[in-house]
Structure formats: C-alpha cells, structure tokens
Amino acid sequence: MIVCSCSGVTDRDISQAIAWMRASDAYTLITPGKIYRALGKAPRCGGCIRLFVERMRSDDRMEVPAELQGLRQPAPATLARAG
Ligand code: FES
C-alpha cells in the first residue's frame, strides 16, 4: 500500500526500513525523517504524515525495549522562585 504518494513510499518500505534500523541499533530512535533518509527519499507535501506515523506505530519493532520501559521519572517539584 502506498503511504506517501509524493515519494512512492509503501507500508512495506517503512517496515523494511524499521527492520534495518533495529538490526543496526536496537536502541535507536526511529523517526519519519530517518525512515525517509534510509530509503533515500524525502517528503514533499507532508500530507501523509498521519498515515506514515500510524504505519510506524503498527510495527512491533517500534516498541520501547523492555529494559528501557519505566525509566521516566516524575518531573521534579517546581523550584520556589526567588522573589
Ligand atoms: S504524500 Fe508524503 S510528502 Fe506528500
């Protein structure tokens, strides 16, 4: 299925780029821009971004690795302002 008609990116292209990036570095942050770059393409109009991100999110390899889940700390309490 064509996801980006400007650049001819398919859902399969996205899946293959994610697989390649995960195989290269299991902890890399994968963004739409990196996928375009990996495919040697570039977005033009941006009209596909919602579908593009949906396709990325539907890929099991986009999950945060188990050992990295739960690392987020609550924001520190707001510092009292001098005044
Ligand atoms: S449809 Fe993807 S950039 Fe235009």
Mean pLDDT per 10-residue run, the chain (83 residues)? 97 97 91 97 97 96 83 75 55
Dihedral sign for Cα 37, 67, 64, 73, please.
negative
**Residue 78 pLDDT:** 65
- Work out the burial of residue 25: count CB atoms within 10 Å of its CB; fewer than 13 is exposed, 13-18 middle, 19 or more buried: exposed
pTM above 0.85, yes or no: no
Dig out the tokens for 12 from the structure.
């399969």
**Residue 70 pLDDT:** 86
Instruction: Break the chain into its structural domains and give their ranges.
Output: 2-65
Is 10 strand, coil or helix? strand
Query: For ligand 1, is residue 31 a contact (CB within 6 Å)?
Result: no
**Residue 83 pLDDT:** 54
Cα 71 to averaged position of ligand 1 atoms, centre (Å) = 35
